[in-house]
């Protein structure tokens, strides 16, 4: 499903209507719908990569919670470093493993040493860079005490998986974006009209 596809032209109005009717009086329902819609949207590409998305989301959520439980700077540093290594490692593997293996083999070949390059048939998960750095911005901001660790898992999942930005960005900073999910959103006619205009302008470019 792309933003220009027929499926999205059906998907977006359905989510919009449900959001401002069924979910309008509950922050939890609003966040829950955002999460559900985002997982459907992302899974439409390849449902097998939903596990990676959720791993990134939950690992950074737990890391933030864990750092919030300790005031010991050394422990906070290890937690922050651990979650960064985990998620950047996953990103590196999917994006660059074959490139570096092949480059390594080619370098040895130039020196007259032929080695077998064991590349893998790796399918790159769409949007992995955007959601990885969005999630890591939260754990880094918690470590730097720019944001308080949240206990609202639905709000956090909505922040990380938000479908309009998960495929092509921009990368959201937790200290600016996350607080929006902690409160009930009210329908605003003028903002809705302006948003529709922006969508139409973007679609026409």
- Specify whether the CB–CB gap between 117 and 101 falls below 8 A: yes
3-state SS track over 7-46: HHHHHHHHHHHHHHCCCCCCHHHHHHHHHHHHHHHHHCCC
Distance CA 142, CA 161 (A): 19
Mean pLDDT value of segment 70-94: 91
Cα dihedral 169, 81, 142, 41 sign: positive
- Spell out the domain ranges in the chain: 6-204
**Residue located via tokens 């540093």:** 77
The predicted pLDDT at position 205 comes to 41
From the number of C-beta atoms within 10 Å of its C-beta (0-12, 13-18, 19+), residue 9 rates as exposed
The predicted pLDDT at position 70 comes to 86
Instruction: Summarize pLDDT for 5-42 with one digit per residue, the tens.
Output: 888 889 989 999 999 999 989 999 999 999 999 999 99
> Quick one: what percent of the chain has pLDDT higher than 90?
52
Q: What is the CA radius of gyration of the chain?
A: 20
Distance CA 184, CA 36 (A): 17
**Residue located via tokens 């493993």:** 97
**Residue located via tokens 């009210």:** 186
Instruction: Summarize pLDDT for 107-159 with one digit per residue, the tens.
Output: 545 565 555 555 556 677 788 999 999 999 999 999 999 999 999 999 999 99
The predicted pLDDT at position 108 comes to 47
Q: Which residue has the higher pLDDT, 184 or 111?
A: 184
User: Which of 27, 32, 38, 35 is closest to 185 using CA atoms?
Assistant: 27
Q: Which residue has the higher pLDDT, 202 or 159?
A: 159
């Amino acid at each position: 499903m792309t933003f220009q596809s027929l499926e999205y032209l059906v998907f977006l109005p359905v989510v919009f209507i449900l959001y401002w009717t069924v979910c309008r009086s509950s922050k939890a329902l609003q966040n829950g719908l955002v999460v559900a819609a985002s997982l459907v949207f992302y899974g439409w590409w390849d449902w097998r990569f939903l596990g990676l998305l959720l791993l990134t989301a939950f690992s950074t959520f737990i890391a933030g919670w864990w750092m919030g439980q300790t005031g010991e700077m050394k422990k906070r540093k290890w937690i922050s470093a651990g979650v960064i290594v985990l998620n950047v490692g996953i990103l590196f593997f999917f994006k660059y493993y074959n490139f570096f293996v092949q480059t390594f083999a080619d370098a040895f070949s130039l020196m007259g040493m032929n080695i077998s390059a064991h590349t893998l048939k790796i399918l790159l998960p769409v949007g992995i860079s955007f959601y990885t750095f969005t999630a890591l911005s939260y754990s880094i901001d918690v470590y730097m005490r720019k944001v308080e660790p949240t206990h609202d898992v639905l709000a956090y999942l909505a922040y990380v998986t938000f479908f309009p930005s998960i495929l092509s960005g921009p990368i959201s900073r937790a200290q600016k974006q996350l607080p929006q999910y902690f409160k009930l959103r009210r329908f605003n006619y003028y903002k809705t009209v302006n948003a529709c205009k922006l969508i139409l302008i973007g679609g026409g470019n």
